[in-house]
Structure 1
Amino acid sequence: MSATIRTARTRAAQPSASSSVPPVGRLDQLVDAFGIDTVLLGTVDTQGRLKGKEFDAAHLVERLRSGALAPEMCGYVIGTDLGMAAPANGPFSWASGFGDIALLPDVQRARVLPWLPWLPWLPSTVVVFADPISGGLPHPLAPATVLAEQQHRLASLGVRAGVGGGDGVRALRGHRAGRRWEPTNATADLMPEGELRITPIGPDGPPA
């Protein structure tokens, strides 16, 4: 680790350097205030997973500021399905290749990742989300573009889309000192009304 990075992190560990900066903010401000050394620049693929690249923070800030870097990503990220197959009527295929797609990073809303720290109290990594674009417009295959079109169609029908989620817990048995944990053959489903239900799991899987 270079002396420059160590010095930056030492300054960032001081409360006066970090207390005024929120965990979400401009990329350059977060880099300066927290001594950030790594930036995850990514976008969401068609399965909702974050795909991207790691950059040296200072290098990325400087290249974005000067216009020397135009972020790109392989088109397979938004051009294939879960089985890595490209739609037959799509612009990409494994035969013709995928090429690169341009990305528009949202450097105004970088997010500190507290679960990737150099020290427990000192974040060192931020994530910057980027939108796939084509010709300066949102890419038609980007998940956000597809979702926006679906929402627009539903709104034209007088329907408003909603999203729900579920929480599941897998119970483990063990001792913290030995750091050996084993499944208890049970799952805990957190029901919408707040009821906690334990469902035993046998050797053949959960009951039907």
Structure 2
Amino acid sequence: MSPTGATKHERCGWCGDDPLYVAYHDDEWGVPEYDDGALFEKLVLDGFQAGLAWITILKKRDSFRAAFDGFKPETIVRYGDKDIARLLGDAGIVRHRGKIEATIGNARAYLDIMDKEPNGFSGYLWSFVDGKPVVSTSRNWKDMPAATPMSMALSKDLKKRGFKFCGPTIVYAFAQAVGMFNDHQTTCVRHAECAALAR
């Protein structure tokens, strides 16, 4: 048993039994992420998720990475009309002009933050939780809110800096995924394991 009383195989109730989702839950979701580029990729993908199920994005993630040049902001920021047309014709991704154009703008906003913030994109994001994960005490994932004061504040600031498709609900889902919030329910074995990974 884990220190929280979770048995080896207990997982959050949202996980289900899809092998891709199980692997995502067990290996990625809630793990504190501090890499600038990985955080940018996840925020972009969460923006593409708007109106869709995360499993849809997860199944297309490799295609997204190929289509968007590995989510390198320095490359994406130079995308023009031909690139937008290419992406709109790529059945491997979510073909939504607004989200594609937002990604180009988001790359520009990301590079601006990297230029202006002494601790980069990661330091900027993590400053909204004082540099350490907010740890959930909930035993049931259904008790989690759709947004929090922190996600509202971060969403507002991201928009002010030029980001799009980053509303409070999207930002909260992002913050949970990258471990800014350790929202594994306390009966889940990953709750304690993710807590131990925080800096």
TM-score between both structures, scaled by the size of structure 1: 0.22
Higher helix share: 2
TM-score between both structures, scaled by the size of structure 2: 0.23
Q: Which has the larger radius of gyration?
A: 1
